């Protein structure tokens, strides 16, 4: 049976998250409903990242299998028709080999977190950034972020309900940069623990506030204790930007 890959963009604000849940609208559920209406076939969708409620995506990747061949561009356009008026869009669709798996074939995932530290609240970006009504020290955050890069036990930055078998992860990148009024934090790894990015951002924000130092962040990491983590950053500022496959090239 033909297997298709989807590249997806969505505003996570109205969704209960990527994964189908007993109540509320999920991104996965919306996509599966659109496929069913378009093709007449039920298809389970597997995503590269199970984003939480309120988390956005510019480059989520998913795959599904259906019984009959469809032109990829018709799947894209037809799904977008049936997804209206929900804020989720299929950017592109293509055929992939039978052994492709959006989740398990991924070699890297790239996230970005956006912070808006200014006195005036956002209007256009209200549910798309973490608004902090004061300035914070991006330079101190950038210097402290280096402590977390590399292979570590990230128990401190792992949600209590995380289902991963091991807390060991290799964080390939954690950059803190300034863009006009915004501070953006880019994180890259093969895989992340549940709430890992938001937990790291929340702790880095304490550094930006001057409440923690780089050494405090290191001690929190080495504690391997969830209670040592700073407050978890809100979901609204987090974006799944892209997913890499194969030799590491971004798809």
| Residues noted as catalytic | 52
Give me 250's structure tokens. Answer: 């971004």
The helix or strand, by DSSP H or E, that contains position 201, with its residue range, turns out to be helix 196-208
Give the residue from 37, 94, 26 showing the smallest Cα distance to 64: 94
| Beta strand ranges found along 96-149 (DSSP E) | 106-117, 130-132
Give the pairing type, strands 56-65 and 238-245: parallel
| Beta strand ranges found along 180-248 (DSSP E) | 182-189, 238-245
* Helix axes of 138-145 and 214-223: crossing angle, nearest 10 degrees: 40
Q: Is the dihedral angle over the CA atoms 34, 112, 161, 172 positive or is it negative?
A: positive
Query: What radius of gyration do the chain's Cα atoms show?
Result: 19
């Amino acid at each position: 049976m033909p297997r298709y890959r989807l590249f997806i963009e969505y505003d996570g604000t109205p969704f209960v998250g990527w994964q189908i849940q007993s109540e509320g609208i999920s991104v996965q559920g919306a996509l599966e409903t659109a496929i069913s209406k378009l093709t007449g076939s039920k298809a389970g969708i597997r995503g590269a990242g199970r984003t939480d409620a309120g988390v956005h995506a510019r480059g989520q990747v998913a795959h599904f299998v259906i019984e009959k061949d469809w032109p990829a561009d018709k799947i894209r356009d037809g799904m977008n028709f049936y997804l209206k008026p929900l804020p989720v869009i299929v950017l592109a669709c293509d055929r992939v080999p039978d052994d492709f798996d959006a989740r398990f074939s991924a070699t890297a995932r790239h996230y970005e977190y956006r912070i808006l530290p200014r006195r005036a609240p956002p209007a256009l970006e209200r549910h798309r950034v973490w608004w902090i009504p004061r300035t914070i020290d991006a330079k101190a955050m950038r210097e402290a972020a280096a402590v977390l890069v590399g292979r570590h036990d990230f128990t401190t930055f792992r949600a209590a309900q995380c289902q991963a078998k091991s807390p060991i992860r290799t964080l390939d990148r954690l950059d803190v940069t300034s863009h006009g009024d915004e501070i953006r934090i880019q994180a890259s790894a093969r895989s992340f623990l549940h709430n890992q990015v938001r937990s790291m951002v929340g702790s880095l924000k304490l550094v930006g506030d001057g409440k923690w130092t780089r050494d405090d962040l290191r001690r929190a990491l080495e504690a391997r204790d969830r209670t040592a983590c700073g407050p978890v950053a809100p979901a609204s500022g987090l974006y799944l930007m892209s997913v890499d496959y194969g030799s590491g090239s971004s798809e």
